[in-house]
Amino acid sequence: MNLESLYQEIILDHYKHPRGRGLREPFAVEVHHVNPTCGDELTVRVSLVGDVVTDVSYDGQGCSISQASVSVLYEQLVGATVTDGLATTDAFLALMQGRGQVEPDEDVLGDAVAFAGVAKYPARVKCALLGWMAWKDAVAQAVASETPEVAP
Amino acid sequence: MTAVHAPLSGLLDVEAVRADFPILSRTVRGGNRLVYLDSGATSQKPVQVLDAERDFYTRHNAAVHRGAHLLAEEATDAYEAARATIARFVGAQTRELVFTKNATEALNLVSYSFSNATAKSQHGRSLPQGAERFVLAPGDEIVVTEMEHHANLVPWQEVCDKTGAVLRWIGVDDDGRLDLDHPVHGLDAVLGERTRVVALTHQSNVLGTVTPVRRVADAAHALGALVVLDACQSVPHMPIDLAELGADYLAFSGHKMLGPSGIGVLWGRYDLLAAMPPFLTGGSMIEVVRMEGSTFAAPPQRFEAGVPMAAQAVGLGAAVDYLEALRSADGSLSGMAAVAAHEHGLTAYALEALAEVPGVRVVGPADTASRGSAVSFVVDGIHAHDVGQVLDDRGVEVRVGHHCAWPLHRRFGVAATTRASFYVYNDTRDVDDLVAAVRHAQSFFGVAR
């Protein structure tokens, strides 16, 4: 492993030029997640219309990995269905927790494959996951609040 | 010898010291020399400490303060001899020294004395004579500082939540010193008639600042308050004179001073320890146990429930012996005075070298007056995690993040810093490697000026 394989060009590009950054209206749910070991913070808003993710807006501060990761998330998940978005999230989670042993599927992950190198640095995995866990939390809340209550 | 890399006087003979630390000769991340600059988090251990632990386990191991067989006697003697060595090291009486698992537990031991005494008092249960000093009423005040490590902050927040006491804090100025004369956050403004405890650090684990403990202690004592000193970053690095400090309690950990992990120390004035209810309870801390209730042993045993960490105590005793045997390369100083002078020289060298790097800003005092060897900094345009990653790629191991002092980082408007901390096995070459790696990080992330 070397620095270049960790900090892929695509990661540095997203870090320096984040896509979709900033908090926007309307949104269904807003969540605030922190990484207690380093103090990184991220606010994520999710907007859904039916089963489609119409927006993921975010703001926060953190390292290049955490900020680039949420920027990639924005590009990958906005416009996708909730189902596909969660499938991508699961694939990303499996990649991050794979200690470098999981072969990334670019068809599912898109640009998020660039984070494959992070999996070999266990201390940085939480950085890469910060935005994805926040989004997953937010979308779960949004779906739950939209599910019509069923009479017992 | 180290002459090529050591233009400073008063340094230790680092080559000789490093020979005692096997881990320092390993390589990291693709064959790089290990540049260990994270002793503020935990120090490395010399073979003398490892051998002392191994010798205990291979020849004397038994449960201390139990049983009457030969090994039990030898183990107990070794454990108590270590207590005596460590007590002498900080100028304490042996019976005033309590072994804990770490400094965090030592600080919790003191803080729980307040919440436990308060709870027992509310139910009319028996307390040691003099325990009213530890009984808090709603509106009583506990004072900390804005530069505390979470270990000397969160336990006091908990005491407040359990007793109705109020937490107040002394502020920090822009240079990273306690702002004792501030009209709102200063000593006179924060301490008052209701102050019962003042808990502060002796040396900030982030800023390196050495606090004016005596001044704070005198003000606290004038109000009848007790003074708890977090000495985690001072005992390993400078000579300690308990009488001069004026604190009532002192907490430090073994693993930051060349000793093993799993052992910490609480020193407390004996009359105070004797007035405190127990913290952790169980075996060997009792006097008499009946089904209806129990009475408790005198300190320090009252606070050492269960089979204690004997090998770690022995290892810490060996660490103290090691520190006391160190000598400046020029023979001018010995023991902790030599350690302090060595670190002072390295810190001055590092502050000067970092000041020459555009875009690097030290958080904490820029000069070495009343300052220890923790040097935290931000690199403009690069998050501390990314700085640390690039440094690590070159074998330079530093701490990144908020260093368990989140409010302090908030005070300085930064989420995270990069911290280099020096100890007896570091030399100017390590500082040079640090600075070169920081410049490399700037270049890697395209923020070099």
Domains (range + CATH), chain B: 14-33+329-444 (3.90.1150.10), 54-319 (3.40.640.10)
Model confidence at B67, in pLDDT bands (50, 70, 90)? confident
Q: Smallest Cβ distance to B406: which of A3, A39, A121? A: A39
Q: Which residue in this structure is represented by tokens 């005075």?
A: B337
Whole-Å CA distances, B385 to A61, A110, B399: 12, 25, 9
Is there a catalytic annotation at residue B404?
A: yes
Question: Is A62 in contact with B386 (Cβ distance < 8 A)?
Answer: no
Could you tell me which residues of chain B have a Cβ less than 8 Å from any Cβ in chain A?
30, 382-386, 389-390, 393, 400-402, 406, 409, 415-416, 444-445
The whole-number pLDDT of residue B34 equals 98
Contact at 8 Å (CB) between B430 and B394? no
Checking if the pLDDT of B219 tops 80, the result is yes
Q: Which residue of A has its CA nearest to B401?
A: A38
pLDDT exceeds 80 at position B7? no
Which domains does chain A show, CATH number per domain?
Answer: 3-144 (3.90.1010.10)
Average the pLDDT over A55-67 and give the result.
Answer: 96
Residue of B nearest to A65 (CA): B386
Confidence of residue B10 (pLDDT cuts 50, 70, 90): confident
Establish whether the linkage from the previous residue to B138 is cis, with ω within 30° of 0: no
CA B5/CA A78 separation, integer angstroms: 56
- Residue A2: its chain B contacts at CB < 8 A? 30, 393
Residue A94 clears pLDDT 80, i.e. is over it: yes
Question: HEC string of A36-56?
Answer: CCCCEEEEEEEEEECCEEEEE
Tell me the per-residue pLDDT of A38-56, one tens digit each, with 9 for 90 and over: 789 999 999 999 999 999 9
* Å between B133 CA and nearest CA of chain A: 36
- The whole-number average pLDDT for the span B96-122 is 98
Assigned token pair, B311: 């090998």
pLDDT tens digits, B356-369: 999 999 999 999 99
The answer to whether B253 touches B102, Cβ cutoff 8 Å, is yes
Q: What is the pLDDT of residues B402-433, one digit of tens each?
A: 999 999 999 999 999 999 999 999 999 999 99
**Measured distance CA(B89)–CA(B437) in Å, rounded:** 37
Q: Which helix (H) or strand (E) holds B33?
A: strand B32-33
pLDDT in tens, B159-209: 999 999 999 999 999 999 999 999 999 999 999 999 999 999 999 999 999
pLDDT, mean over chain B:
96
| Complete DSSP assignment for chain A | --HHHHS-HHHHHHHHS-SSBB--S--SEEEEEEETTTTEEEEEEEEEETTEEEEEEEEEE--HHHHHHHHHHHHHHTTSBHHHHHHHHHHHHHHHTTTT-SPP-HHHHGGGGGGGGGGG-HHHHHHHHHHHHHHHHHHHHHHHHHSPPPP-
Q: Does B416 contact A38 at a Cβ distance shorter than 8 Å?
A: yes
pLDDT of residue A84: 96
Rg (CA), chain A: 15
The structure's pTM equals 0.94
DSSP three-state, residue B50:
helix
In this prediction, residue A150 carries a pLDDT of 55
- Residue B332 distance to chain A (closest CA, Å): 42
Size of interface A-B (CB pairs under 8 A): 48
Q: Which chain A residue's Cα is nearest to B386? A: A63
pLDDT exceeds cutoff 90 at B102: yes
| Cβ neighbours of A61 in B, within 8 Å | 415
pLDDT 10s digits, B129-149: 999 999 999 999 999 999 999
* pLDDT at position B309: 97
Which residues of chain A make contact with B394, given a CB cutoff of 8 A? Answer: none
pLDDT of residue B113: 98
- If we measure between CA atoms, which residue out of B372, B388, B44, B355 comes closest to residue B204? B372
Tell me the mean pLDDT in the region A113-123.
92
DSSP letter assigned to residue B204: -
Share of chain B above pLDDT 70, in %: 98
Residue-wise pLDDT tens digits, B245-263: 999 999 999 999 999 999 9
Give backbone dihedrals phi and psi of A56, rounded to 5 degrees, phi first.
-130, 110
Helix A122-146 × helix A64-77 angle, to 10°: 40
Are residues B400 and A124, on separate chains, in Cβ contact within 8 Å? no
